[in-house]
């Protein structure tokens, strides 16, 4: 018998003996039990999410301003550090066509994996 069933059984006994005060108290007890059961369920859900997150964190590694799955040895699929660090969401970045960088489709964070190419040397007045 669960704790709520016990409280209901006690309520029925209180009805039989005709104690209104006891019935009121047992109704409060039942309400508290329901609150605690809901809180317990919420906490279990929160623990499960934290355990899942902890397991996920073991499978990724940070490098070059992105997260990568440890199994992705050739580094083909980068994930957004901003989204993961702030919202614990693993969002796959979209590569630029040049493959020099990528962009997060959710937060728009740009990530460059290579140094930007210098197309033109700046003109220096004081050389020569
Ligand atoms: Zn992002």
Expressed in angstroms and rounded, the spacing between residue 41 Cα and the centre of ligand 1 is: 31
Cα–Cα dist 39/126, whole Å: 72
pLDDT of residue 113: 82
The model's pTM is: 0.64
Residue 99 has pLDDT above 90, yes or no: no
Tell me which residue has tokens 């220096």. Answer: 124
pLDDT in tens, 16-67: 999 999 999 999 999 999 999 999 999 999 999 999 999 999 999 999 999 9
pLDDT of residue 1: 81
Whole-angstrom CA distances from 30 to 25, 38, 78 are: 9, 12, 51
pLDDT of residue 117: 57
Compute the Cα dihedral for 14, 15, 19, 25 and give only its sign.
Answer: positive
Expressed in angstroms and rounded, the spacing between residue 122 Cα and the centre of ligand 1 is: 33
β-bridge mates for residue 69, sequence order: 60
Expressed in angstroms and rounded, the spacing between residue 113 Cα and the centre of ligand 1 is: 16
Q: Record the tokens describing residue 47, joined without a space.
A: 């623990």
Expressed in angstroms and rounded, the spacing between residue 45 Cα and the centre of ligand 1 is: 25
Expressed in angstroms and rounded, the spacing between residue 47 Cα and the centre of ligand 1 is: 25
């Amino acid at each position: 018998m669960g704790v709520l069933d016990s409280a209901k059984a006690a309520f029925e006994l209180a009805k039989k003996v005709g104690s209104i005060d006891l019935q009121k108290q047992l109704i409060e007890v039942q309400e508290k039990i329901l609150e605690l059961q809901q809180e317990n369920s919420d906490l279990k859900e929160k623990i499960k999410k934290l355990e899942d997150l902890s397991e996920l964190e073991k499978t990724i590694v940070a490098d070059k301003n992105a997260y990568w799955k440890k199994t992705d040895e050739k580094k083909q699929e980068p994930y957004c550090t901003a989204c993961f660090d702030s919202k614990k969401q693993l969002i796959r970045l979209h590569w630029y066509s040049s493959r020099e960088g990528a962009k997060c489709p959710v937060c728009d964070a740009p990530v460059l994996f290579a140094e930007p190419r210098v197309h033109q040397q700046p003109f220096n007045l004081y050389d020569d």
